[in-house]
Amino acid sequence: MSLSSLLGRRLLFTVGKGGVGRTTVTLALALEAARRGKRVLVVELEGARGLERALTGLRRSIQPGVERISYQAIEGRAALEEYLAMIIPVRRLLRTIFDTAVYQYFVAAAPGLKELMTIGKIWYEAGRSESGAEGAPDIVLVDAPATGHSLQYLRMPQAAFEAFPVGLVHREAERVLGLLRDPAATAVVVVSTAEEMPANETLEIFSGLAEIGLSVAGLVVNQVHAAPCAPPVLRRLIEALSVDDEAAEDELFAEAVRRAEEESGWARINERQVSRLREATEISPALLPYLFCEEFGADQVVQLAAILRSEVGEGAT
């Protein structure tokens, strides 16, 4: 999958286990799309506004194209009220409906309603780009929540379509499903780290997405460790600590060797899990390195965006 093909979609979801770097990958993709002149909308779903804070830091760093990235947080209840405002133009009547106990109970009790309205709002934003509406984004990137909740959101249109065989909800769910299942318009980028538990959950995501009928455009493996030296070199360094008294007494040298040994261990673990993911998904993943820094910020996002561009490229498949 080339970057041009990936960023040619109208709607792109990044999904993965909590803590694997979904927000970072979302911003890296957004920055690359903006660098190419696209108007980008990044969306966060009922989260802790981590994406918003990261984007604020990116804007302060004055990166090229960042002015073309806009942000929106979507919450199901607000999306429902926005939708009702579109079909009930009388504001006084609308306010009366919102204030009723029946409406409050309905919103709280209706299973899946907030998820359905959230995906419906995303569908609306992505549809604006197709219609050519003024100021509409060229691409919508959704920083989806952790695995289980992401799949819950993405399953809801199908569930609503089946639960309501006729009527407004059925028609709206059908339209949303049409967008989600169109591989030319919508795709998913799965983000993982190369450790056993995140890799296990990543394979569950692939299975869940296949059941929904969504197209997986790519796999990004984040925080990949690289061995600092070849195994024979590391073995000689370790041997030097055990036989060379002068080397053993050099605290800086000893600590450097211990850290090299630790990093090499992580590199072996990561290599095994990357191979496992590649074999199970039949996708060649883009690998992003573990960045050693005191504080992860805008500079690191820019660095990873450049690496992602190199990893995926224009001729990758």
In the chain, the domains with their CATH numbers are 15-312 (3.40.50.300)
Q: What is the pLDDT averaged over residues 216-228?
A: 93
Q: How confident is the model at residue 286 (pLDDT cuts 50, 70, 90)?
A: very high
Instruction: Tell me which amino acid residue 160 is.
Output: A
Q: What is the model's pLDDT at position 45?
A: 86
Q: What are phi and psi of 70, to 5 degrees?
A: -115, 165
Instruction: Give the chain's mean pLDDT.
Output: 85
pTM: 0.86
Q: What is the model's pLDDT at position 156?
A: 87
Return the percentage of the chain with pLDDT > 90, whole number: 43
Q: What is the pLDDT averaged over residues 148-168?
A: 85
CA distances from 106 to 112, 113, 311 (A): 11, 9, 48
140-144, 164-168, 218-222, 311-315 — which is least confidently predicted?
A: 311-315
Whether 170 has a pLDDT exceeding 60, the answer reads yes
CB distance 206 to 174 below 8 Å: no
Q: What are phi and psi of 63, to 5 degrees?
A: -80, 145
Q: What is the model's pLDDT at position 243?
A: 76
Q: What is the model's pLDDT at position 200?
A: 95
Residue with more model confidence, 85 or 293: 293
CB distance 57 to 28 below 8 Å: no
Q: What is the pLDDT averaged over residues 201-218?
A: 91
Whether 104 has a pLDDT exceeding 80, the answer reads no
Q: How confident is the model at residue 317 (pLDDT cuts 50, 70, 90)?
A: very low
